Amino acid sequence: MTTEIITDIAEAEQGSSLWHDAWLRLRKNRLALAGGIILVAFSIIALLTPWIAPYAYDAQNLDLGATPPSAQHWLGTDIFGRDLLTQIMYGGRVSLAVGLIATSVALLIGVTWGAVAGYVGGKVDAVMMRLVDIMYALPFMIFIVLLMVVFGRNILLLFLAIGAVEWLTMARIMRSQVQQLRQQEFVEAAISLGLPPGTIIRRHLIPNALGPIIVYTTLTIPSVMLLEAFLSFLGLGIQPPQTSWGLLISYGAETMEEFPWLLIFPGLALTITLFSLNFLGDGLRDALDVRRSKD
Amino acid sequence: MWRFIGIRLLQAIPVILVVITVTFFLVRVAPGGPFSAEKAVLPEVKAALEAQYRLDLPLFQQYVAYLGDLAQGEFGPSFKYPGRSVNELIGAGLPVTAELGLYALLVAVVIGGIAGVIAALKPNTAQDYIPMTAAMIGICMPSFLLGPLLVLVFGIYLDWLPVSGWGDIPGDKILPAITLGSAYAAYIARLSRAGMLEVMSQDYIRTARAKGLPEWQVVVKHGLRGGLIPVVAFLGPAFAGLLAGSFVVETIFQIPGLGRFYVQAAFNRDYTMILGTTVFLSTLIVLFNLLSDILAAWMNPRLRAQFGEN
Amino acid sequence: MINTVSRLLAALLVTTFLAACTGGESNVEIGNREGILHFGNGSEPQGLDPHVVTGVPENKIVRSLFEGLAVKNPWTLEPEPGVAESWDISEDGRVYTFYLNPEAKWSNGEPVTAGDYVWSWNRALHPAMGNQYAYMLFPVVNAQAFASKQIEDFSQVGVKALDERTLQVTLNEATPYFLQLMDHYSTFAVHPETILKHGKMTDRYTKWTRVGNMVNNGPFNLKEWKLNRRIVVEKSDTYWDRDKVRLNGVVYYPTENIVSEERMFRVGQLHTTGTVPLDKIPVYQAMENTPYVQSPYLGTYYYLINTNREPLTDVRVRRALSLAIDRVKLNDTVLQKSNFPAYSITPPGTMGYQPPKLFDYDPELARSLLADAGYPDGEGWPEVELVYNTSEGHRKIAVALQQMWKDVLNIKITIANQEWKVYLDSVDTMNFDIARRGWIGDYVDPNNFLDLFITDGGNNNTGFANPRYDDLILNLAPQADTQEERFRLFYEAETLLMEQMPILPIYTYTNKKLKHPSVRDMPSNLMDSLNLKYVWLDADWDKGAEK
């Protein structure tokens, strides 16, 4: 009797109305909405950068050198006399793309892997999680060097490689969540009803673990962006004059006493993006929270 | 419980063996050898060097010989530092990095945990926003930026703390520990807030509240246990990651730790050193992941019951 | 609960800061008082065995522990007595007879003998030793043959102990720079019994260089060696010239991160740094009584061109690329005037030799050369890639040049930043179009730069091959009767080289460091040759300024 009711509720709530309700709730959360709008705006700017950037991204003026913000260069120039605003706009294209693609890859692999391991348990779980242990332990840099040598320099490949490394912790978190949820009444009920495991994972386990997933995703995005900067800095990522926020920040950090604007503005761009993501993430989490919404 | 630990420890053997094998062949395929140098090396010199390090043997024989050494607890001589064994280098770097990692983790757990729980108790109020904003800034602030910033402010402008070193000048451990710990503190704050929110809406918490228990007892006795599970799952790999990832902080503060050896070994193609640090690290990762799984199981009442039955 | 926690935290913070603030006296202040030099040394040395190590940081330490037969004077770079108190050179310049100082002692009190040198050079040249600098001894008769296993009997090599204190060395041909080589660590003597006590003669990895084991003959002895932390040496009381040594000790720091190193200098943790971050140079230059020291250094920064690859096979293309580089502007802006624009491979003024300057920044000519080669205004320009190894300085230069080429020639050159070992592999296998390169002289002589480009030379890496050039460098110059004649031949060779332009010279290196004003008698010189036996610390440095 109770099991039926619970499945019914769950079924109903996972249906199209879930997303509709979530959207209604999200709209009421001003911070989340603002975050979403900023992200969309940044993405549009990134897409349109080649047409709207004030200067060519590689146009140098060596005689000018590094100058603080001025009427010609709103955010100042770097040591090559390149317009910083233009650099940040182009850098955003790389950083947003790496954040989006690498994180999606990590999310997709990590959530599936962790959910399956946690749900199935037993030997499958053991093998899957030991594979995760192995991946953790391999020397990551050698791995990237080899990828670059074998496949050549390719931005997309770099994104995938980063994603392929970042999924590990996600898998562990997802697994521990699923293990915990699996013993809750509504999941046990669903199992006893004979629902196929795929459906249970998709309909009951993942939605209920959304909180930690969303939070960890918002944590993964900055670490992915910084990892890209680290790899690029070592010559394993994008090549100059291409740039990214992470690279701009790492160059800026070197000269923060002499030319602080070279650190502050790229740093602001990254910080605003991450805050927006974060508010949107929290908003989404609250909006999608099945149980809290019943309060 | 003991059976569970025993099984996991047994599983560690094939894991580490796979790691060794993959790493052994991976590093050999990477371009550039341990003895390539900027000024061209004479062929005779190169041959002599390779002979001294057994690199002239067929690859598979090298592999077998390496496993033989390993079975005796020998990681072999370092290629980059002639006269030093990998055991010695790890022995020199590990205590430093472990100490640094421990302090950093302490900073992370104390500050991050408290901030996260406090924030979760009153979501969407100032009590939530302030610690969480600080945490966000901590996440945005990579250690290659935070380290120099702290050094400039506390080391140079205020002249309160040393700018580098480890155990040489009193107080020189403070800035590195904060730099390394802050990113993790931010993570832990976010994870624990989310975990707590998740748990505090569970039925058993409502039951506890309904029983009329004071709120802090509900939080501490019932909430923390479930709420910190994601944090614990994160901590295992995080500590192993701290050891490997302390490279940046060790470089900024000139700390003689394992992180520098680990990264430099990859750059130098110091085959034995890469393998040695990797084997060592994989052992740590397996152990810490196991530890965090045990802890998570212990914190999860139902899983604990299961262990008890076994 | 929250209150308690915050109070606890506050208390913790206060106590740690109070504990940290108590010190006050810096390394430099203590060092000045006690005669201890705090030296920023760049990186952890690979080791301290003179026949094994290769780098600059190793050199700085090894030379304080060991001494060669003849030592470069740090002011003039002229050879002065080291282990040998005097020497004779035969009429034809081929036989050197060194008379060892009877006071020259190992740190265990035993005298340094001519026999030790014969044994040590056997070790340095031994094929099983894998000494990367064995070639420093190749001017010696049969040394190269022995090192490359053509002969097995070391007694055929031209080094003999005539008696305990007389060492006779026979060279293949007159080698004007031979005495300079006696100050290179690969020609240093090591203590045979000590090495044999810890392993075979040719073992690279024994423990003989550890604290307590090492027996050495220099002005300082090894006192402490903490990996990646510091190396401490203290004044030796067996060194023959100990009365001249004024420092009581030196502490070497492996300051890998140059930005951190600069900060350590700023708070008084270091007396001297190995280098200075580029962007800090103007700041220091603007200071009164600046600690910044910049002086010429025997090295050239250049780009290799792969002359086997289209379109770089065409000399007009290579010249166009070179002429389109505004070296003066590059140096004045991106490089902060910290170097000298270079138009040839040999640094100007090497032993009095002036290299040819055949070209200058000339965008017009560059464009017309490129047009002649079939790429008018960059039309039809194929993909060309510039490779450099990871480093801020290399990146800045590459980015600036990329734009200069684009502006002047309207061509696109892509940049590839490669991790160090990948880069070495690319250069070694000539898997590049254009690649960054730097060459630091091993000894002060144009030959050290010009013999890089002999056909199939190990460091040629460009595919440049010219029989006349080979003949000039390998046969004619070594047999020249006078230095003027020799330099004239070098000039002819270098002119040939720069007409063909298999390399793009960018700048001549300078030595840049920060040096605390209390450090005295540590002069800058072309080789960055450091002789710590002369250095002293003036504890009253600031009082002198007031008078």
Tens-digit pLDDT profile for residues A229-250: 888 877 778 888 889 998 899 8
- Chain B residue with CA closest to A128: the answer is B15
Q: What is the pLDDT of residue C114?
A: 96
CA distance A269 to chain C (A): 23
Which of C172, C197, C177, C199 lies closest to C187, judged by CA?
Answer: C177
Q: What is the pLDDT of residue C192?
A: 96
Which positions ≥6 away from B32 have C-beta within 8 Å?
A: B269, C420, C421, C422, C423, C424, C425
Q: What is the pLDDT of residue C408?
A: 95
Which residue among C389, C400, C419 places its CB closest to the CB of A60?
C400
- Contact: B156, C267; criterion CB under 8 Å: yes
Which residue among C22, C148, C263 places its CB closest to the CB of B44?
C148
Cα A187 to Cα B37: distance, rounded to the nearest angstrom: 61
* b/e map B171-202, b = 16+ CB within 10 Å: bbbbbbbbbbbbbbbbbbbbbbbbbbbbbbbb
- Contact: C209, B83; criterion CB under 8 Å: yes
- C388 or C7, higher pLDDT: C388
CA distance C74 to chain B (A): 25
CA distance B137 to chain C (A): 20
- Contact: A139, B282; criterion CB under 8 Å: no
Which residue among C277, C389, C399 places its CB closest to the CB of A80?
C399
> Which one of A78, A239, A255, A263 makes the best mutation probe of the C interface by having the most chain C beta carbons within 10 Å?
A239
Which residue among A65, A145, A251 places its CB closest to the CB of C333?
A65
Q: Is the pLDDT of residue A202 over 60?
A: yes
- Contact: C257, B163; criterion CB under 8 Å: no
Q: What is the pLDDT of residue C440?
A: 92
Q: What is the pLDDT of residue B192?
A: 85
Q: What burial class does residue B310 get, using C-beta atoms within 10 Å of its C-beta: 0-12 exposed, 13-18 middle, 19+ buried?
A: exposed
H-helix segments, C35-186: 56-65, 114-125, 143-147, 178-181
Cα C250 to Cα C252: distance, rounded to the nearest angstrom: 6
Which residue among C280, C334, C389 places its CB closest to the CB of A62?
C334
Of B238-252, C136-150, C186-200, C217-231, the poorest mean pLDDT is in: B238-252
User: pLDDT band at C234, cuts 50/70/90?
Assistant: very high
CB-based contact, A96 to chain B, within 8 Å: no
Q: What is the pLDDT of residue A12?
A: 45
Residue with tokens 């199981």: B297
- Contact: C417, A60; criterion CB under 8 Å: no
Positive or negative, the CA dihedral C280, C282, C286, C292 is positive
CB-based contact, A137 to chain B, within 8 Å: yes
Which of C283, C143, C199 lies closest to A66, judged by CA?
Answer: C283
Q: Is the peptide bond before A241 cis (omega within 30 degrees of 0)?
A: yes
Domains and CATH numbers, chain C: 2-44+220-292 (3.40.190.10), 67-209 (3.90.76.10), 295-510 (3.10.105.10)
Compute the mean pLDDT over every residue in chain A, rounded to the nearest whole number: 83
Q: What is the pLDDT of residue B303?
A: 57
* Alpha carbon A270 to its chain's center: 13
Cα C74 to Cα B88: distance, rounded to the nearest angstrom: 37
Q: Provide the residue ranges of all domains of chain B, joining segments of one domain with +.
A: 93-309
Q: Is the pLDDT of residue C344 over 90?
A: yes
Sheet holding C95-100, edge to edge: C84-89, C95-100, C166-170, C159-163
Collapsing DSSP states into helix, strand and coil, what is residue C79?
strand
- B281 or C76, higher pLDDT: C76
Q: What is the mean pLDDT of residues B73-97?
A: 89
With a pLDDT cut of 90, the percent of chain C lying above it is: 80
Collapsing DSSP states into helix, strand and coil, what is residue C96?
strand
CA distance B178 to chain C (A): 12
User: How many residues are there in chain C?
Assistant: 547
- Contact: A139, B26; criterion CB under 8 Å: yes
The three-point CA angle C397-C400-C405 to 5° equals 120
* Alpha carbon C275 to its chain's center: 13
Of B54-68, B108-122, C392-406, C533-547, the poorest mean pLDDT is in: C533-547
Instruction: List chains touching A (3+ CB pairs under 8 A).
Output: B, C
With a pLDDT cut of 70, the percent of chain B lying above it is: 95
Q: What is the full DSSP assignment across C98-125?
A: EEE-TT-B-TTSPBP-HHHHHHHHHHHH
The reply to whether ipTM tops 0.90 is: no
Q: Is the pLDDT of residue B226 over 80?
A: no
CA distance B193 to chain C (A): 16
Q: Report how far apart the first and last C-alpha atoms of chain C are (Å, whole number).
A: 62
| B 175-204 near A (Cβ less than 8 A) | 187, 190-191, 193-195, 197-198, 201-202
- Chain C residue with CA closest to A63: the answer is C333
Q: Is the pLDDT of residue A85 over 90?
A: yes
Phi, psi of C504 (to 5 degrees): -110, 100
CA distance A43 to chain B (A): 19
pLDDT digits (tens, 9 = 90+) for C479-517: 888 889 999 999 999 999 999 999 999 999 999 999 999
Q: Is the pLDDT of residue B248 over 80?
A: yes
Q: What is the pLDDT of residue B261?
A: 86
Collapsing DSSP states into helix, strand and coil, what is residue C417?
strand
- Chain C residue with CA closest to A78: the answer is C334
- Contact: B38, C424; criterion CB under 8 Å: yes
Residue with tokens 């832990």: B188
- Contact: C399, A241; criterion CB under 8 Å: yes
Which residue among C132, C227, C266 places its CB closest to the CB of B92?
C227
Architecture of domain B93-309: Orthogonal Bundle (1.10)
- Contact: C228, B256; criterion CB under 8 Å: yes
- Contact: C257, B31; criterion CB under 8 Å: no
Partners of C417 on chain A (C-beta within 8 Å) are 232, 234-235, 239-240
User: pLDDT band at B305, cuts 50/70/90?
Assistant: low
Range picked from A190-199, B147-156, C357-366 for highest mean pLDDT: C357-366
Which residue among A180, A246, A249 places its CB closest to the CB of B300?
A180
Q: What is the pLDDT of residue B301?
A: 63
With a pLDDT cut of 70, the percent of chain A lying above it is: 91
Of A87-96, B191-200, C252-261, C406-415, the poorest mean pLDDT is in: B191-200
- C321 or B144, higher pLDDT: C321
Q: Which two tokens stand for residue C213?
A: 């084991």
Which of C121, C122, C241, C132 lies closest to C187, judged by CA?
Answer: C121
Instruction: List chains touching B (3+ CB pairs under 8 A).
Output: A, C
- Chain A residue with CA closest to C282: the answer is A258
CB-based contact, B19 to chain A, within 8 Å: yes
CA distance C418 to chain A (A): 5
Q: What is the mean pLDDT of residues C273-289?
A: 91
User: How many residues are there in chain A?
Assistant: 295
Domains and CATH numbers, chain A: 93-288 (1.10.3720.10)
B-C C-beta contacts closer than 8 Å: 161
Q: Is the pLDDT of residue C6 over 50?
A: no
- Chain A residue with CA closest to C397: the answer is A80
Q: Which two tokens stand for residue C439?
A: 């060459």
Cα B264 to Cα A234: distance, rounded to the nearest angstrom: 12
- Contact: C19, B171; criterion CB under 8 Å: yes
CA distance A134 to chain B (A): 6
H or E, element range at C388: strand C384-389
Which residue among B230, B278, B302 places its CB closest to the CB of A139?
B278
Which positions ≥6 away from C466 have C-beta within 8 Å?
A: C455, C496, C497, C500
> Which one of B17, B200, B201 makes the best mutation probe of the A interface by having the most chain A beta carbons within 10 Å?
B201
Compute the mean pLDDT over every residue in chain B, rounded to the nearest whole number: 84
- Chain B residue with CA closest to A276: the answer is B136
Range picked from A212-216, B155-159, C108-112 for highest mean pLDDT: C108-112
Cα A268 to Cα A38: distance, rounded to the nearest angstrom: 13
H-helix segments, chain B: 2-29, 43-52, 59-71, 86-107, 113-121, 126-140, 143-150, 174-200, 203-210, 215-217, 224-227, 229-245, 247-252, 258-268, 271-299, 301-309
H or E, element range at C139: none
